């Protein structure tokens, strides 16, 4: 056997020295910039198809990587390396999502600046990532905490601040265009403060003040009251304004307002409300004067309950009064515009954690209603916060799921999260005629079965309609509900609670009075915060009615044999007047029209999705590019003022408190030099926004910055964006399913905003998504249930035993966590076996999308495989290489089969079976005892994406001088793969009896003849009658006998 000089020299050396090989090739790749991928237009760029393969952005935690992270990274790296060999330009970047609460909390606790901690963590995680030999283009690395990165995060925020959602165009548009349309009169302002297209006849109405209409039945005019009652009423109104039971509309009318943002946005009111307490003292005085005037001129009248009633909103008819924008005061104009922005401020109920001094996202709050970090109590509280109008995109976020190739469960989770439901809104008059209750229902066909109504405890009508006899009970119930967190309210889901208000409403389909209750099983945030209860056909209403002895009337006839009580499915209408006999879906169609004709209801679509609470009272996040000016209001900074840098601070600790009512004091408030600035509009003194953005912000668009990370003029150059994003966005996005909803939904939302505004060219960011499964590991417990670390365990024959006590331990598969003492550190594994073995093991464990247990004991299998590969080509002290001059035809055939299988499996992300095929090939070579150089080279190329270091080394041993990274992927010859003869199983009545060898070309008759001639078959058929002969070509023969 003859080998090249280098190879024979190596053949003398000891075995597979992975540590040296891996160090050598990682240095080679870095020095030669092997994986630098130029952009179109750059000098070294060569034309070709593109492939953008993306990993989910890691958060550089202090704990570093665990063995779960590199699973996805290895998969994408195999794909990236494979696609390069297939001639693609491959974009394969990595970066860090480095803002966020953990780094800041650590920094606070240890007295180090979060930037320092973050830097250290990034250095560590990057060291770890580089150990695996991934082929990232490190020149594209980004970090969200880098001012040159967050400058563009701020820029995108400004894009949202400076645009609004145009329902007509069904797209975001620049806010300037809204202002233009408002000034020109193409858009008018409706009563809720929404900009709506002007229609025929609006012009006459617009700008007119409403004539005080006739007194509603039972009501009195203000001037009919005596002075004492007048005074009492006025002070009562003021009290309710101050306690936020009442708000002011933009034109100064006092209105009750549903408890939060959602009700407002869902019922079509875009938050056009002013909280009385936010007005200055003079403004408050003026507001009270205005209300007094409205009372005096009869716009507000007095209902029998003693409450005031706005005659304009009585009767439930949709308000039609339109106003011209140009008629409004400047302040009101500004408010209307601000309330249309995609990024807007609103007072919303939030998770407030006084100990951490910040609001928290729902996912940062545990099921027990405590903070994820630090386990501090969290309270529900209304605060004025930045919001992003993701709800405007509900329908598109839903529809465009059809454009992407994502796992069906992820799409389903997104659909559920958006939570679209179709139904109708129906108005129920109060029995005293003083107002209406609007409800949302998906089953308007069950209206005849509505025997009572329920208001959420926060519903604004509760206070107004409660009778004096019931007041004490209702006040107590509402108070108790308010003090409970959402968690507590839903925790005891078994028992329904509620109280009767004493008031009645009229069921509009049959004019029957039905009682109105208050109960916390009705949520403020969904629909209108009020329901019609149909106990016969709704499980919750059924439970409630049973508990409180409310009437239950059947209106749907279920299929035969099914009890109608509590039947929630579709059926045939009964007890429903003229609608009797209709099937559910037809009934819904007809009654919706019926309701619309009478002006008491209309078809309506509801979403569970809420607008995105976008501010945090923390230091370690992106500052908002926003200035607050007394004169000009909330002002977005001009682009040239970006980035707004985080101020250097000695004390970035947020104000911590045990008092849930204490005002939020964001840490940025302590940076006096920084927060006082000049208004970019008027040049007067102004203050900066003190909140920072939440952690999700930076990760919403990082995949775009990778495309052009150094660009100083733009978040991303259009040419680069168009080339890399192509038609469908990123070609492959791999990450854990824990980001199924939030990250992926938020990114899609930002992307769509950028798309609407013309900054990106695809409607969706991630064309294909793949979720890797979770890697868990074995955890061991002793009798007491105490977890025992691997170091204290003696593993022998039949189980795990405690090293010192000798006690047998129980084994279970768990998520890796410190507490369970089952964390496996990749550094240790790599030190012992090398990165190539690690990569191979993670891919060999099972299907990429399955969750599977880590078992260090199993690693030796793949490690042995690499040693066999090494010895096959290089040999070691004990064994000569199998490399020979003569090609073995059997090996050649196996090689073609391997190339075919590996190619198909990589494309399908079935890496475990691709590796199994490589093992089979090596086993075949050892059996044959020889492999020639050409065969060895092709094998090494196939191995390359999986175990790149050893593959590169062997590539060199075989006499090549360049990296194999851009070598052509080997091809297979289909003729070589095809077998000339096949062994077919022969069954009798489906039971395997024998096997026959036939040529592939054999036809059915020949196959049957061969089967019948087989001695075992012939014997088995003796005395039987053949009924049927079944031949599946290439698969099997089955003979059916009697």
Partner RNA sequence: GCGAGGGUGGCGGAAUUGGCAGACGCGCCAGACUUAGGAUCUGGUCCUGAAAGGAUGGGGGUUCGAGUCCCCCCCCUCGCACCA
Residues 361-420 that bind RNA (CB under 7 A): 408-409, 412-413, 416-417, 419
Site map for RNA, 4-43, x if CB under 7 A?
A: ----------------------------------------
Give every strand in the sheet of 300-302, ordered side by side: 220-221, 300-302, 308-310
Options 492, 648, 968, 979; binder of RNA; rule CB under 7 A: 492
Task: For the segment 732-791, give every residue that binds RNA (CB under 7 A).
Answer: 737-738, 740-741
Q: How many CB atoms lie within 10 A of CB 351?
A: 21
Span 321-340, contacts to RNA by CB under 7 A: none
CA distance 837 to 947: 7
Q: In whole angstroms, give the CA distance from residue 873 to residue 932.
A: 9
H/E element holding 165? strand 163-166
Stretch that binds RNA, among 192-200, 514-522, 689-697, 889-897 (CB under 7 A): 514-522
> With respect to RNA, which residue has the nearer C-beta, 326 or 879?
879
Distance CA 773, CA 734 (A): 11
- CA dihedral 185→191→196→198, nearest 10 degrees, is -50
Q: Which is nearer to RNA, 512 or 547 (CB)?
A: 547
* Minimum CB–partner distance for residue 887 and RNA (Å): 19
Judge contact between 866 and 947, C-beta under 8 A. yes
685 binds RNA (CB under 7 A): no
913 binds RNA (CB under 7 A): yes
318 binds RNA (CB under 7 A): no
Question: What residues pair up with 452 in beta bridges, in sequence order?
Answer: 533
Judged by CB under 7 A, the chain residues 432 through 471 that form the site for RNA are 439-443, 456
Per DSSP, what are the bridge partners of residue 884? 932
Query: Is 694 a binder of RNA (CB under 7 A)?
Result: no
Binding residues among 518-547 for RNA as defined by CB under 7 A:
520-523, 525-529, 531, 538, 540, 543
Q: How far is CA 234 from CA 110, 243, 292, 295, 717, in A?
A: 55, 14, 8, 9, 60
**Shortest distance (Å) from residue 98 CB to RNA:** 24
For residue 981, the cross-strand partners are 999
CB of 1001 to RNA, least distance (A): 17
Nearest to 499 by CA among 483, 523, 482, 515: 515
**Closest approach of Cβ 473 to RNA, in Å?**
18
Binding range to RNA, per CB under 7 A, among 176-184, 463-471, 707-715, 864-872: 864-872
Q: Give the range of 28-36, 195-203, 490-498, 942-950 binding RNA by CB under 7 A.
A: 490-498
Cβ closer to RNA: 35 or 542?
Answer: 542
**Smallest separation, CB 521 to RNA (Å):** 4
Q: Sheet of 1036-1041: strands edge to edge?
A: 991-999, 981-988, 1036-1041, 1026-1032
Provide, rounded to whole angstroms, the least separation between the CB of residue 80 and RNA: 22
CB of 1011 to RNA, least distance (A): 13
Strand, helix or coil for residue 125 = helix
With binding defined as CB under 7 A, does residue 824 bind RNA?
A: no
User: What is each CA distance from 988 to 30, 576, 1023, in whole angstroms?
Assistant: 63, 64, 14
Asked if 995 interacts with RNA (CB under 7 A), we say yes
What are the phi and psi torsion angles at 316 (to 5°)?
80, -5
Stretch of residues binding RNA (CB under 7 A), selected from 336-344, 470-478, 589-597, 839-847 = 839-847
In the structure encoding, which two tokens stand for residue 990, read together? 């489906």
Q: Which of 542, 472, 536, 533 is nearest to 502 (CA)?
A: 472
Residues near 942 by Cβ (< 8 Å), separated by ≥ 6?
898, 899, 902, 918, 970
DSSP H or E run through 518: strand 512-518
Q: Provide CB contacts within 8 A for 809, sequence distance 6+.
A: 780, 781, 782, 788, 793, 799, 800, 801, 802
- Binding flags for RNA, 998-1037, as an x/- string (CB under 7 A): ------------------------------x-x-x--xx-
Q: Which is nearer to RNA, 274 or 845 (CB)?
A: 845
Q: ∠ CA(666), CA(669), CA(673), 5° rounding?
A: 155
- Least gap, CB of 74 to RNA (angstroms): 15
Tell me if residue 391 falls in helix, strand or coil: helix
- Please say whether the dihedral angle defined by the alpha carbons of residues 294, 297, 300 and 306, taken in this order, is positive or negative: positive
To the nearest whole angstrom, how small is the minimum distance from the Cβ of residue 386 to RNA? 22
Residue 381: strand pairing partners: 350
Residue numbers 965-994 binding RNA by CB under 7 A = 983-985, 987, 989-992
Candidate ranges 579-587, 816-824, 893-901, 921-929; the one touching RNA (CB under 7 A): 921-929
Nearer to RNA, 11 or 179 (CB): 11
Choose between 120 and 995: whose C-beta lies nearer to RNA: 995
Instruction: Assess 490 for contact with RNA (CB under 7 A).
Output: yes
Q: How far is the CB of 423 from RNA (least distance, A)?
A: 5
Which among 96, 63, 69 has a CA at the least distance from the CA of 838?
Answer: 69
Which one among 496, 739, 897, 938 touches RNA, defined by CB under 7 A?
Answer: 496
What would the 3-class secondary structure string for 575-644 be? CCHHHCCCEHHHHHHHHHHHHHHCCCEEEEEECCCCCEECCECCCCCCECCEEEECCCEEEECCHHHCCC
Nearest residue (CB) to RNA, 440 versus 766: 440
In the complex, the smallest distance separating the C-beta of residue 661 from RNA, rounded to whole angstroms, is: 25
| Residue 509 sits in the site that holds RNA (CB under 7 A) | no
Using CB under 7 A as the binding rule, the residues of this chain from 843 to 862 that contact RNA are 844-847, 850-853, 855, 857-858, 860-862
Q: Enter the tokens of residue 374.
A: 């630090």
- Among positions 808, 926, 960, 1012, the unique one binding RNA when judged by CB under 7 A: 926
Give the nearer residue to RNA in terms of CB position, either 440 or 706. Answer: 440
Rounded to whole angstroms, the Cα distance separating 271 from 285 reads 23
String of contacts with RNA for each residue 875-904, x by CB under 7 A:
---xx-------------------------
Torsion of CA 443, 445, 448, 449, to 10 degrees: -40
For position 910 contacting RNA by CB under 7 A, the verdict is yes
Shortest Cβ distance from residue 329 to RNA (Å)? 36
Shortest separation between residue 608's beta carbon and RNA, angstroms: 4
Interacting residues with RNA between 601 and 640 (CB under 7 A):
606, 608
Cβ distance to RNA smaller for residue 434 or 524:
524
Question: How many residues belong to the site for RNA (CB under 7 A)?
Answer: 86
Contact 949, 134 (CB under 8 A): no
């Amino acid at each position: 056997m003859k080998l090249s000089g280098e190879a024979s020299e190596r053949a003398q050396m000891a075995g597979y020295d992975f540590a040296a090989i891996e160090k050598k090739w990682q240095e080679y790749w870095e020095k030669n910039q092997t994986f630098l991928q130029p952009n179109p237009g750059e000098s070294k760029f060569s034309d070709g198809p593109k492939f953008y393969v993306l990993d989910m952005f890691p958060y550089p935690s202090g704990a570093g990587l665990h063995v779960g992270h590199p699973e996805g990274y290895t998969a994408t790296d195999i794909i990236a390396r494979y696609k390069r060999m297939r001639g693609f330009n491959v974009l394969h970047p990595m970066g860090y999502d480095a803002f966020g609460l953990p780094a800041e909390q650590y920094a606070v606790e240890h007295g180090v600046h979060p930037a320092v901690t973050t830097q250290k963590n990034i250095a560590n995680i990057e060291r770890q990532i580089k150990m695996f030999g991934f082929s990232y283009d490190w020149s594209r690395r980004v970090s969200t905490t880098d001012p040159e990165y967050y400058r563009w995060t701020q820029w995108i925020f400004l894009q949202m601040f400076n645009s609004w959602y145009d329902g007509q165009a069904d797209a975001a548009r620049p806010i300037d265009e809204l202002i233009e349309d408002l000034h020109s009169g193409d858009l008018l302002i409706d009563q809720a403060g929404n900009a709506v297209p002007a229609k025929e006849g609006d012009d006459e109405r617009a700008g007119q003040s409403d004539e005080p209409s006739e007194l509603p039945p039972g009501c009195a005019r203000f001037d009919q009251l005596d002075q004492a009652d007048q005074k009492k009423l006025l002070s009562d109104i003021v009290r309710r304004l101050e306690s936020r039971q009442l708000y002011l509309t933009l034109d100064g009318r006092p209105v009750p307002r549903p408890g939060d943002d959602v009700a407002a946005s869902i019922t079509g009111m875009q938050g056009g409300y002013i909280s009385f307490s936010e007005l200055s003292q003079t403004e408050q005085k003026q507001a009270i004067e205005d209300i007094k005037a409205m009372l005096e001129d009869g716009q507000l009248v007095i209902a029998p309950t003693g409450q005031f009633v706005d005659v304009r909103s009585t009767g439930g008819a949709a308000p039609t009064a339109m106003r011209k924008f140009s008629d409004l005061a400047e302040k009101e104009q500004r408010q209307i515009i601000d309330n249309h922005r995609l990024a807007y401020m609103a007072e919303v109920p939030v998770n407030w954690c006084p100990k951490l001094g910040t609001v928290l996202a729902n996912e940062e709050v545990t099921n027990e209603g405590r903070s994820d970090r630090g386990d501090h109590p969290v309270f529900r509280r209304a605060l004025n916060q930045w919001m992003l109008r993701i709800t405007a995109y509900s329908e598109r976020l839903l529809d465009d799921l059809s454009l992407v190739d994502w796992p069906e469960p992820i799409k389903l989770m997104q659909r559920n999260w958006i939570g679209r439901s179709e139904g109708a809104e129906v108005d129920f008059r109060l029995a005293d005629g003083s107002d209406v209750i609007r409800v949302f229902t998906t089953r308007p066909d069950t209206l005849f079965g509505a025997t009572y109504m329920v208001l959420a405890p926060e519903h604004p009508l509760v206070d107004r309609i409660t009778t004096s006899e019931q007041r004490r009970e209702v006040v107590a119930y509402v108070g108790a509900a308010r003090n409970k967190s959402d968690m507590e309210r839903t925790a005891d889901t078994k028992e329904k609670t509620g109280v009767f208000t004493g008031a009645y409403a009229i069921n509009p389909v049959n004019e029957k009075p039905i009682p109105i209750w208050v109960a916390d099983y009705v949520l403020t945030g969904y629909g209108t915060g009020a329901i019609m209860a149909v106990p016969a056909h709704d499980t919750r209403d059924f439970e409630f009615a049973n508990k409180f002895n409310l009437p239950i009337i059947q209106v749907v006839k279920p299929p035969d044999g099914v009890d109608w009580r509590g039947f929630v499915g579709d059926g045939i209408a009964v007890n429903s007047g003229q609608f009797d006999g209709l099937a559910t879906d037809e009934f819904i169609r007809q009654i919706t029209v019926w309701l619309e004709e009478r002006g008491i209801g209309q078809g309506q679509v509801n979403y569970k999705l809420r607008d995105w609470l976008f501010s945090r009272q923390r230091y370690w996040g992106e500052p908002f590019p926003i200035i607050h000016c007394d004169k000009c209001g909330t002002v977005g900074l001009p682009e040239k003022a970006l980035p707004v840098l985080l101020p250097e601070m000695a004390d970035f600790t947020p104000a911590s408190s045990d008092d849930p009512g204490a005002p939020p004091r964001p840490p940025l408030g302590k940076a006096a030099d920084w927060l006082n600035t000049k208004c970019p509009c008027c040049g007067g003194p102004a203050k900066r926004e003190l909140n920072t953005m939440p952690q999700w912000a930076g990760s919403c668009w990082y995949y775009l910055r990778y495309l052009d990370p150094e660009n100083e003029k733009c978040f991303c150059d259009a040419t680069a964006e168009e080339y890399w994003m192509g038609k469908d966005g990123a070609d492959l996005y791999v990450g854990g399913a824990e980001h199924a909803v939030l990250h992926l939904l938020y990114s899609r939302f930002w992307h769509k905003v950028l798309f609407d505004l013309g900054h990106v060219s695809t409607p969706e960011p991630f064309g294909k998504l793949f979720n890797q499964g979770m890697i868990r590991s074995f955890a061991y417990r002793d009798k007491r249930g105490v977890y025992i670390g691997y170091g204290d365990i003696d593993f022998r024959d039949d189980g795990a035993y405690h090293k010192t006590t000798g006690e047998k331990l129980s084994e279970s598969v768990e998520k890796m966590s410190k507490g369970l003492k089952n964390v496996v550190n990749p550094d240790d594994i790599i030190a012992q076996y090398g990165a190539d073995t690690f990569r191979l093991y993670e891919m060999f464990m099972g299907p990429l999308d399955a969750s599977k247990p880590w078992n260090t004991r199993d690693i030796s299998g793949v490690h042995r495989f690499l040693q066999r590969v090494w010895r096959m080509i290089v040999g070691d002290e004990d064994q000569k290489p199998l490399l020979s001059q003569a090609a073995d035809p059997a090996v050649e055939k196996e090689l073609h089969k391997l190339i075919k299988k590996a190619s198909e499996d990589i494309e399908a992300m079935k890496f475990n079976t691709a590796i199994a095929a490589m093992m089979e090939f090596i086993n075949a070579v050892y059996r044959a005892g020889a492999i020639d150089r050409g065969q060895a080279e092709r094998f090494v190329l196939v191995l390359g994406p999986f175990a790149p270091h050893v593959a590169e080394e062997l590539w060199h041993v075989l006499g090549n001088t360049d990296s194999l990274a851009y070598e052509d992927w080997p091809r297979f010859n289909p003729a070589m793969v095809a077998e000339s003869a096949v062994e077919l199983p022969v069954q009798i009545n489906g039971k395997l009896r024998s096997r026959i060898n036939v040529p592939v070309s054999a036809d059915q008759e020949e196959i049957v003849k061969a089967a019948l001639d087989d001695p075992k078959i012939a014997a088995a058929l003796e005395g039987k009658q053949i009924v049927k002969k079944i031949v599946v070509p290439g698969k099997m023969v089955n003979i059916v006998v009697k």
